[in-house]
């Protein structure tokens, strides 16, 4: 019963998001009415073109290529960034040593990485994957460091008095705190991963959504370009709202107000 209610509440909260989405589509339509087909094709045309891509199978193959690169790169950077970040957070010296490196990494624009990756890996799938990894590691790293640096020593003292083992202190006292910092960082990193993957594909590969966009640009096919943009955004929204957001809700019920006000954390992120 509780689960059904949770799902209902979750989907109800989607209505608010839909209002914004439709407003956006309406603006797009208005832009089309003003500037015409060549500058901005109608949303319906873009969607129809997207339907064609789904039909001939190119949408699925392009999306899966991009998804593997984005999600794979994100997974690697999430793992490395979080682990190294937690370790750095535990030692002040390590944090001091790594921080300038992270600042430098954050400062290098993704496009520069793409150039480097192109030279190193050539026009293969490794180029977008590598670019995703190096651009999102600093984000997950920073989240992990921040979470670890702000651990509550008072709670740790409490746990020690009640004779918790080091493992239990980590699992029950430290980990939930660190996760509450890591989750937003992961979501940010994942959003970035899609964009960077598509960008790298556009310049470097012959498959994936980015490569299709490059082709559409060469053919001056605006409807196809818009269709691929819609596909990218759709994928991103799907991963975020069907995987990350429910996961976050599950692990962070302790932070939320009782049902009905569950959107506060989302708002903060936006």
Partner 1 sequence: MLAWKSVSISRMGQEIFSDISLEIGQGKIVSLVGPSGCGKTTLLMIAAGLMDADSGSLECGFRNPGMVFQEPRLLPWKRAGDNMAFGLVARGQKSIDFRCRIEALAATLGLDRRDLDKYPHELSGGMRQRVALGRALVIEPDLLLLDEPFSALDIGLRQELQDLLVRQISERGLTAVFITHDLVEAARISDVIVVMDRHPRGIVYQHAMPGIPGCRPERDIFSAVGDLLAVPVVARAFRAQDIEKL
Contacts with partner 1 by CB under 8 A lie at 154-155, 157-165, 168, 172-173, 176, 252-255, 258
Buried b (16+ CB within 10 A) or exposed e, 174-192: beeebbbbbbebbbbbbbb
* Helix, strand, coil % in the chain, rounded to nearest 5: 85, 0, 15
CB of 75 to partner 1, least distance (A): 25
CB of 180 to partner 1, least distance (A): 8
CA-closest candidate to residue 173, choices 150, 143, 191: 150
CB of 162 to partner 1, least distance (A): 4
196/163 Cα distance (integer angstroms): 47
**104/257 with CB nearer partner 1:** 257
On the CB side of 200, CA atoms within 13 Å amount to 37
**177/195 with CB nearer partner 1:** 177
**37/152 with CB nearer partner 1:** 152
**107/258 with CB nearer partner 1:** 258
CB of 235 to partner 1, least distance (A): 31
Tokens matching residue 223: 């409807």
**156/221 with CB nearer partner 1:** 156
CB of 155 to partner 1, least distance (A): 6
**167/220 with CB nearer partner 1:** 167
N-to-C CA span, the chain: 31
Residue 82 C-alpha from the chain's centroid:
15
CB of 158 to partner 1, least distance (A): 4
**129/159 with CB nearer partner 1:** 159
CB of 8 to partner 1, least distance (A): 20
Are the C-beta atoms of 151 and 177 separated by less than 8 Å? yes
What's the DSSP call for residue 257? Answer: P
Is residue 131 packed enough to be buried (19+ CB in 10 Å), middle (13-18) or exposed (0-12)?
Answer: buried
CB of 145 to partner 1, least distance (A): 20
Is residue 138 packed enough to be buried (19+ CB in 10 Å), middle (13-18) or exposed (0-12)?
Answer: buried
Element (H, E) at 83: helix 58-90
**55/153 with CB nearer partner 1:** 153
Three-state DSSP class for residue 164: coil
């Amino acid at each position: 019963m509780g689960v059904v209610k949770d799902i209902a509440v979750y989907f109800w909260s989607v209505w608010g998001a839909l209002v914004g989405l439709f407003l956006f589509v309406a603006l797009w339509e208005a832009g089309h009415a003003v500037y015409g087909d060549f500058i901005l094709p109608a949303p319906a045309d873009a969607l129809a073109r997207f339907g064609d891509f789904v039909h001939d199978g190119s949408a699925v193959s392009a999306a899966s290529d991009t998804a593997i690169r984005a999600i794979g790169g994100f997974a690697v950077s999430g793992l490395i960034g979080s682990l190294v970040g937690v370790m750095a957070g535990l030692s002040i010296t390590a944090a001091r040593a790594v921080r300038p490196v992270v600042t430098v990494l954050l400062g290098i624009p993704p496009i520069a990485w793409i150039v480097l990756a192109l030279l190193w890996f050539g026009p293969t799938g490794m180029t977008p994957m590598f670019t995703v990894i190096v651009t999102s590691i600093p984000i997950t790293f920073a989240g992990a460091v921040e979470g670890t640096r702000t651990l509550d020593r008072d709670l740790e003292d409490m746990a020690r008095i009640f004779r918790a083992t080091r493992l239990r202190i980590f699992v029950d006292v430290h980990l939930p705190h660190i996760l509450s910092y890591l989750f937003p960082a992961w979501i940010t990193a994942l959003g970035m991963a899609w964009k960077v993957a598509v960008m790298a594909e556009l310049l470097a590969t012959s498959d994936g959504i980015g490569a299709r966009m490059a082709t559409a640009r060469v053919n001056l096919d605006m409807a196809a370009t818009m269709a691929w943009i819609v596909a990218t955004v759709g994928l991103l929204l799907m991963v975020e709202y069907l995987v990350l957001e429910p996961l976050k809700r599950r692990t962070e019920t302790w932070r939320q107000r009782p049902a009905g006000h569950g959107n506060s954390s989302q708002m903060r992120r936006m």
